[in-house]
A and B are shown apart, each in its own frame.
Chain A
């Protein structure tokens, strides 16, 4: 196998898959940094986002790319709503209670998706898209958009966190919650903002997974482990780490097919997660919490 073949069939799909994981992992890392628990409903929230985009495509007859912002906004609202209705009441309890509750939320969201959209696989648009040929590199348009969208969204988030008043307030809350409260930073607003961002990124993650593969009720749940592996790999609490982690996990999963049967591809994320926890639990870029 030559280098071009390796890049075309393994590295490029790996980068695309990694970008999708990165979008989810950034949300997981943000929620962990601010609220201090692992959010197990993250994958199914991504599924919901993907299906909301599908509903917009079929109902309004718009292109999937127009449906994306609709899905992002709607999923952000759902995430804030879930927090208000369920998680907010558990804030003073041990964190494990919220983790378990989020598992319940995951099952609830999946059930809603199955009731509304059924259990069959769906796609945003029918037909096969042929990749374009750039000097031997075979790349589909949607793959370019996926990676670009990830870079834009995460870059925008990074700017927001380092430049804006409320972004800095989020970092302050993650850094030292007591001092943030003593400084008069409104905890409730920061939490809400966190859910808006995490929910929106989640929807984008599900949407791009659906765009590059297909939509099914279990799509997000199956992404949960790689997303957590990515967040931990990069160092929990680090946005840039989550992106790096996502790309590493995505590329590793695709490359693993070279040495192990493709049915075991998903085990790659698990192996990476286990390895990191044993060798360097703070992640590649040193995590801020944990």
Chain B
């Protein structure tokens, strides 16, 4: 079985500097994959490379049977990958409902099925659909951001540090939502700062360091690995 997404030996970065060196990773259908690693390891950069946000100088990106290397973000969105940035990931001056509507901007025809799906995943949002997104708490904003990205029915969702700055309670809630999203048939690739918790909940993980692959395996295997524990998880 071929993977939904495979990054094969990606080298690239912003401008002239190569931040990623020969990075390889894959995401299967119905799988949550997490990228962890120390600060400056190129975790977010690796994710952004999938979304066409940096210059790729080597390697290939394959998604669902297509070579998407070098595609522009708007084409990638239409192909079925949606991306939630770490910061500034909502329209503050617009209501929750309008945020979702903008998420579904490219969809032709009726959006009601997409609204239903998102509101079923996030019942809290449905109650407050008229509220301005900028007035919500951090955890609720993250839900709006994810909801916006899910409006186009993506096959793969990219989340850049979805739990950054959230309380443990909200972190657990976001992880639970990720599982629910996966169970609706959407694969998830996420970058996490909270490595321990993330590896415990993800199906598989990759450890990056200095822009290169270091370790990979199931979350449990990585957590059990002495070297990984010492290097990145604070023992």
Most buried by A among B73, B91, B102, B106: B102
| Contact digits for B117-133, partner A, Cβ 8 Å, 1 yes 0 no | 00000000000000000
CB-based contact A183/B102 at 8 Å: yes
- Residues of A within 8 Å of B77, CB to CB, are 182-184
Q: Please report which residues of chain A, range 177-196, place their CB below 8 angstroms from some CB of chain B when the two chains form the complex.
A: 178-186
Alpha-carbon gap, A182 to B89, bound state (A): 10
CB-based contact B85/A175 at 8 Å: no
- Residues of A within 8 Å of B90, CB to CB, are 176, 179
Nearest-neighbour CB distance to chain A for B14, whole angstroms, equals 15
- Residues of B within 8 Å of A179, CB to CB, are 85, 88-91, 102, 148
- Residues of B within 8 Å of A181, CB to CB, are 73-74
Q: Which of B28-36, B56-64, B93-101 forms contacts with chain A?
A: B93-101
CB-based contact B105/A175 at 8 Å: no
Q: Which of A80-88, A111-119, A165-173 forms contacts with chain B?
A: A165-173
Which of A174, A183, A288 is B103 in contact with, Cβ under 8 Å?
Answer: A183
Nearest-neighbour CB distance to chain B for A163, whole angstroms, equals 11
Q: Please report which residues of chain B, range 197-215, place their CB below 8 angstroms from some CB of chain A when the two chains form the complex.
A: none
Alpha-carbon gap, A169 to B89, bound state (A): 16
- Residues of A within 8 Å of B91, CB to CB, are 171-172, 175-176, 179-180
- Residues of A within 8 Å of B93, CB to CB, are 171, 174-175, 288
Closest to A166 in B: B105
Alpha-carbon gap, A180 to B78, bound state (A): 14
- Residues of A within 8 Å of B85, CB to CB, are 178-179, 182
Q: Knowing A179-B88, A179-B91, A183-B148 touch, does A172 contact B74 (C-beta < 8 A)?
A: no
Closest to A186 in B: B74
Nearest-neighbour CB distance to chain B for A193, whole angstroms, equals 14
CB-based contact A185/B94 at 8 Å: no
CB-based contact B94/A182 at 8 Å: no
Is B92 engaged at the interface, CB distance under 8 Å to the other chain? yes
Nearest-neighbour CB distance to chain B for A127, whole angstroms, equals 48
- Residues of B within 8 Å of A178, CB to CB, are 85, 88
CB-based contact A182/B105 at 8 Å: no
- Residues of B within 8 Å of A184, CB to CB, are 74, 77-78, 105-106, 152
Is B83 engaged at the interface, CB distance under 8 Å to the other chain? yes
Q: Please report which residues of chain A, range 136-181, place their CB below 8 angstroms from some CB of chain B when the two chains form the complex.
A: 165, 168-169, 171-172, 174-176, 178-181
Alpha-carbon gap, A185 to B101, bound state (A): 11
- Residues of A within 8 Å of B51, CB to CB, are 182
B interface, by DSSP: helix, strand, loop or mixed? loop
A interface, by DSSP: helix, strand, loop or mixed? helix
| Contact digits for B73-89, partner A, Cβ 8 Å, 1 yes 0 no | 11001100001010011
Nearest-neighbour CB distance to chain A for B103, whole angstroms, equals 6
CB-based contact B88/A168 at 8 Å: no
Closest to B53 in A: A182
Which of B78, B102, B152 is A185 in contact with, Cβ under 8 Å?
Answer: B102
CB-based contact A176/B98 at 8 Å: no
Alpha-carbon gap, A168 to B97, bound state (A): 11
- Residues of A within 8 Å of B73, CB to CB, are 181-182
- Residues of A within 8 Å of B152, CB to CB, are 184
Most buried by B among A175, A180, A183: A183
CB-based contact B148/A168 at 8 Å: no
Alpha-carbon gap, A186 to B98, bound state (A): 17
Q: Knowing A176-B88, A181-B73, A182-B83 touch, does A168 contact B94 (C-beta < 8 A)?
A: yes
Alpha-carbon gap, A172 to B78, bound state (A): 19
- Residues of B within 8 Å of A171, CB to CB, are 91, 93-94, 98
Q: Knowing A171-B94, A172-B94 touch, does A185 contact B88 (C-beta < 8 A)?
A: no
Which of A168, A176, A288 is B101 in contact with, Cβ under 8 Å?
Answer: A168
- Residues of B within 8 Å of A180, CB to CB, are 91, 102
CB-based contact B74/A165 at 8 Å: no
Most buried by B among A175, A180, A186: A175
Alpha-carbon gap, A168 to B101, bound state (A): 9
Closest to A174 in B: B93
Chain A contacts to B: CB under 8 angstroms:
165, 168-169, 171-172, 174-176, 178-186, 288
Q: A182-B83, A183-B77 are in contact. List 11 more A-B contacts (CB 8 A).
A: A168-B101, A169-B102, A172-B94, A172-B102, A179-B91, A179-B148, A182-B51, A183-B105, A183-B148, A184-B74, A185-B102
List 12 A-B pairs, Cβ < 8 Å: A168-B94, A171-B91, A171-B94, A172-B102, A178-B88, A179-B88, A179-B89, A179-B91, A179-B102, A183-B102, A184-B105, A186-B74
